[in-house]
Chain A
Amino acid sequence: MDVILFLAFAIIAVLCAINVVVQTHPISSAISLVGVMGSLAVLYLLLGAEFLAAAQVIVYAGAIMVLFVFVIMLLNAGSEGKKGRSLMAQLLGVPLLVAFLALMAYFVERLFPSTTMVHFGGFTGGGVKEIGRALFTTYLLPFEVTSVLILIAILGAIVLARKEMD
């Protein structure tokens, strides 16, 4: 059951990721990226990370990607043009990519013999209580620094995107 779930959502994630890279219009890439994030959220649930699965959907898929979609709609970004691709890049691109992936998969399998098996319920320490406790005790300094970072980002975005006062 877990294997079927993993395979189904892993295949959806890979297909949507290929779609992100291959589609010409940015909005189709954006929707495919939302699909990737959704399937990754399910895989996080399989790994026992329930708070992070919800945070992935709320923050990543529900806020950051909405921001992307807004900017694409505001700028009215059109499809990309197809000019100036060298023949060498087109011929060698996909085979080299597949070779790179095969090499990485081989190294991962070699370095990580399958002794640990993931099953639903194998890690129960990923709930909200544990994350909250760790966030406010061990990781308090990074937490406060990220809040300052978000404040800086808000100020930067407002300054960059505002209209000139005449």
Chain B
Amino acid sequence: MHLLNLDSFIVISVIKVVVVFAVLLTVLAYLQWVERKVIAHIQVRPGPYRVGPHGLLQPLADVIKLITKEDLIPPHVNKPLYILAPFLAITMALLSISVIPFGPKITVDGYATYMQLTDLNIGVLFVLAVSSIGVYGIALAGWSSNNKYSLLGGLRSSAQMISYELPMSLAIVAPLLISNTLSLRELVEKQSGGMWHWNILHGPFPQIFGFLIFMIAAFAETNRVPFDLPEAENELVAGFHTEYSSMKFASFFMAEYANMITVSCMATLLFLGGWVAPWPAKYGSSYVPVAIFAAAGLIALFHGFQSAHRRDRLSLPVVGVTFLICAAVFLLPMVQQWLLPLFWFCAKTGGILFAYIWIRGTLPRFRYDQLMGFTWKFLFPAAMLNLLVTGFLVALRP
């Protein structure tokens, strides 16, 4: 095994940063595609269909459109703050990915490294701190635009975010009491062994309520339906990003999706066991991804050969064959040590993101006073009660 001296540490870290950010930016773009497709199918319509097969090049078209739009700075804005606000929003949103662990320790070519950019022993506090600074991006965007709709939208949105930080933090503390550590990697390592060791089902008090409170607070933190009044189009023009165009608007958009991804990753790590498989590998959980991908491939092939559109008769079998190749890849033993934990992590995070999109397509939005009343009068006392019961039962543990 090569000695991990400073040079190799820097090289490995740079490679990890490049890989994580490339994957993150691609996932951001395609998360928008997934959202549009899922909401479209909920509303019984096809969604983006024309730009590339099944609309797969739609995010590329959107990126090109946003980059080439005129980047207009209106004359009546406060320029330094106007330019600072999207910068703060996107920087803080992307920064919190740097402490999220995607898998266990892997050994590649003699170098051993963790599948995480950096492991802080105050990892959870770091994510909370970074999301607290993200509030400034929205408040300053609303203020600097010199526009009453933006100001109202910005103030409402930041008040909502700081109000929902409280039940979110209390819901985070409860699994920390059970796991006794703030480092995100150790948190997952203490949940290893199977589904009954995950924090949501384990311990003196299963954290089901904690998980629900965290998810509700997370919806409000990321300004998603049903808590998206501050940026609803028929209420406040466009809320705090009314006066923004082109890349600055794209920054706010990306910041919202990056926050969604971060919060889903945190929920997975804190409550659902991170990269731990639901049952240990000796009972066959390594074949679950193979089964899922093979089933998806066969379904795609089946529909492809019977499809009505001529275009689908070509694209769906291609998709089916791709899925079957992925299923075969999961059988190779040399990639299994890092691919399987990564698969479970992505499956859980993807499930939570799908719930985000599903709820967006289903629920109406809250009025602002209902929203604020809900957090201060119900969610915050509920989170405190959850914490009290968890703490009491943990203290009684022998």
Contact = CB atoms under 8 A, between A and B. Distances in A.
Interface residues of A, number: 21
A73 B132 contact: no
Given A70-B139, A70-B155, A73-B151, A62 B121 contact: no
A66 B139 contact: yes
B143 A58 contact: no
Interface in A66-116: 66, 69-70, 73-74
B135 interface: yes
A164 B139 CA distance: 28
A58 B129 CA distance: 5
Among B84, B133, B135, residue most surrounded by chain A Cβ atoms (within 10 Å): B133
B338 interface: no
B133 A61 contact: yes
B159 interface: yes
Interface in B132-147: 132-133, 135-136, 139-140, 142-143
B395 to A, nearest CB: 12
Contacts of A61: 132-133
Majority SS at the chain B contact face: helix
Nearest to A69: B139
A66 B133 CA distance: 9
B162 interface: yes
A31 B182 contact: no
Interface residues of B, number: 25
B296 interface: no
Among A34, A51, A66, residue most surrounded by chain B Cβ atoms (within 10 Å): A66
Contacts of A14: none
Contacts of A70: 139, 155, 158-159
B136 A69 contact: yes
A50 B121 contact: yes
Contacts of A34: 133, 136
A58 B155 contact: no
Contacts of B136: 31, 34, 66, 69
15 contacts: A27-B81, A31-B136, A34-B133, A50-B121, A51-B122, A51-B125, A54-B126, A57-B132, A57-B133, A63-B162, A69-B140, A70-B139, A73-B155, A127-B121, A128-B121
Interface of A: 27-28, 31, 34, 38, 50-51, 54-55, 57-58, 61-63, 66, 69-70, 73-74, 127-128
* Nearest 3 Cβ contacts at the A-B interface: A62-B132, A54-B125, A57-B129
